[in-house]
Amino acid sequence: MTTKIAEIGMIGLGVMGRNLLLNMADHGFVVAGYDRDADKVAALATEGSGKKVAAEQNISAFLNCLKLPRAIMLLVPAGAPVDAVIAELLPQLDTGDLIIDGGNSHFIDTARRTQELAAQGFEFLGVGVSGGEEGARRGPSMMPGGSKKAYARVQRLFETVAAKVADEPCVTWLGPGAAGHYVKMVHNGIEYGLMQLIAESYDLMKRGLGLNNAQLHEIYRKWNQGILSGFLLEITADIFAQPDERTGRDRIDLILDAARQKGTGMWTSQEAMQLQVPIPVIDMAVMMRDLSGDKAERDLLASALDSSSRPAPEGAEGDQQDLIDALENALFAAMLLTYVQGMALLHKASTEHGYDLQLAEVAKIWRGGCIIRAALLDDLWSAYSKQPQLAHLLLDRRLTQKVLDRQQDLRRVVSSATEQGIPVPALMTSLAYFDAYRSARLPANLIQAQRDYFGAHTYERIDATGTFHSEWQRS
């Protein structure tokens, strides 16, 4: 490649980096990729043949391909590898060069890197990229944060390669510093919640109703055409229709029931606890991944405690379709409440971290390309477009009505599950969250009294201002 003509360079040619770079090249951009791994460089050279792509295993040759000032994107594993690549890169860069971290970095790392790099005269953007391999290749949802001036340099490129919904790109500058990676972290937290809820619906239909994989495929396929329409429903339907390449049996039945994780869901829960924002569906999803991992203990207890689920409650058998319809509504309400929780966290974080997030824009760019894209994001977009400063989405009457209309189905599903001994913690907690938020009076007065009783921590009264203490033991 002629020197200094590539619009952008990619470091890290794994699945995400390579596909995103090829996506850019598909749109006519001149690009360059670098990796230490010769196989990955060769894969880029092969897949990029006929396009304006340079594939380099030599860092100096790679840097020499790039237009000045350079724009270099990293798609390497989050954590220490990002710092290692930046450290290696810095001595070879010039002031004003732009580094873009496109991985799932923790927002605290991104905030630190933003400061460190700015102090040395470099531009830095932390960009959440969602959509997996297919998204990277055909159009991801991108969540950039950092200096707006730096974003302007890559805006056209990002808008061109991002997913489109009604011709609008699923990317926009979200805010300063780590705003982009923060939004991506919450995206992943919501992703965990939605996946757990879908998994619970599967358990209810498989263990509770005894449906087979072909029936499950059909139900999820149908649901994906209605109110639940979204990427995770789409792939769920597909999963139930796939035979195993080794045995010819249904692949889903051969997969170990212990979910793994890279930790972004846990980060979301930790951060929500820190900011004191309740996001119980996401917390439950993280907890259930952990619990699923205790497979040996579960196996022991299953045989000791007879884990067979009790039969479906009286009358439910004849009403199988009725229960499936109720489950569709219950799942919708619970999923909506999961987005509500994620958005509540973003609302608080926006002030706490000074991101000044436009939540309408967040909902808008999640409508395409990313893992949590779903039809119901249109409702969130419209709610925040009307009231950008809305403190809590449940205060939007139109949206809350959608939960109210389905709350009886959610109650029915949760009680049916508990009667049968099928664990549905995320469905349950979504209902409890809703019930708690619409309770003007909660039993927290008793907690206040107990704290004051044993520790003289004082309490507030409903009939007078100030703090009070009582001598409980003498009364």
4 binds ligand 6PG (CB under 6 A): no
Closest CA to 138 of 363, 370, 378, 367: 370
414 binds ligand 6PG (CB under 6 A): no
Q: Which is nearer to ligand 6PG, 282 or 394 (CB)?
A: 282
The least CB distance from residue 267 to ligand 6PG, in Å, is 9
The residue of the chain with the least Cβ separation from ligand 6PG equals: 130
Please name the residue that has the structure tokens 């100030």. Answer: 466
Q: How far is the first Cα of the chain from the last one, in angstroms, to the nearest whole number?
A: 87
Please state, in angstroms and rounded to a whole number, the distance separating the CA atoms of residues 467 and 279: 29
Angle at 430 between CA 295 and CA 435, to 5 degrees: 140
What residues between 188 and 227 interact with ligand 6PG by CB under 6 A? Answer: 188, 191
Question: Does the active-site annotation cover 184?
Answer: yes
Q: What share of the chain is helix, strand, coil (3-state, %, to 5)?
A: 55, 10, 35
Q: Helix, strand or coil for residue 458?
A: coil
Question: Does the active-site annotation cover 133?
Answer: no
Q: Which of 7, 40, 123, 184 is catalytic?
A: 184
Q: With contacts defined by CB under 6 A, how many residues of the chain interact with ligand 6PG?
A: 12
The single residue among 148, 249, 262, 386 that binds ligand 6PG, judged by CB under 6 A, is 262
Stretch that binds ligand 6PG, among 2-10, 67-75, 259-267, 400-408 (CB under 6 A): 259-267
Stretch that binds ligand 6PG, among 125-133, 151-159, 327-335, 417-425 (CB under 6 A): 125-133
264 binds ligand 6PG (CB under 6 A): yes
Please state, in angstroms and rounded to a whole number, the distance separating the CA atoms of residues 169 and 155: 11
130 binds ligand 6PG (CB under 6 A): yes
430 binds ligand 6PG (CB under 6 A): no
Q: Helix, strand or coil for residue 411?
A: helix
Residue 104, both tokens: 């799932």
Q: By rule CB under 6 A, what string of x and - marks binding of each residue 268-287 to ligand 6PG?
A: --------------------
Residue 440, both tokens: 């003007």
Task: Compute the chain's Rg from CA coordinates.
Answer: 25
Q: By rule CB under 6 A, what string of x and - marks binding of each residue 364-403 to ligand 6PG?
A: ------xx--------------------------------
Question: β-strands 164-165, 141-146: how paired?
Answer: unpaired
Please state, in angstroms and rounded to a whole number, the distance separating the CA atoms of residues 220 and 114: 43
Q: How many beta carbons lie within 10 A of that of residue 424, not counting itself?
A: 27
114 binds ligand 6PG (CB under 6 A): no
Point out the residues that are catalytic: 184, 191
- Give the binding site for ligand 6PG (CB under 6 A): 104, 130-132, 188, 191, 261-262, 264-265, 370-371
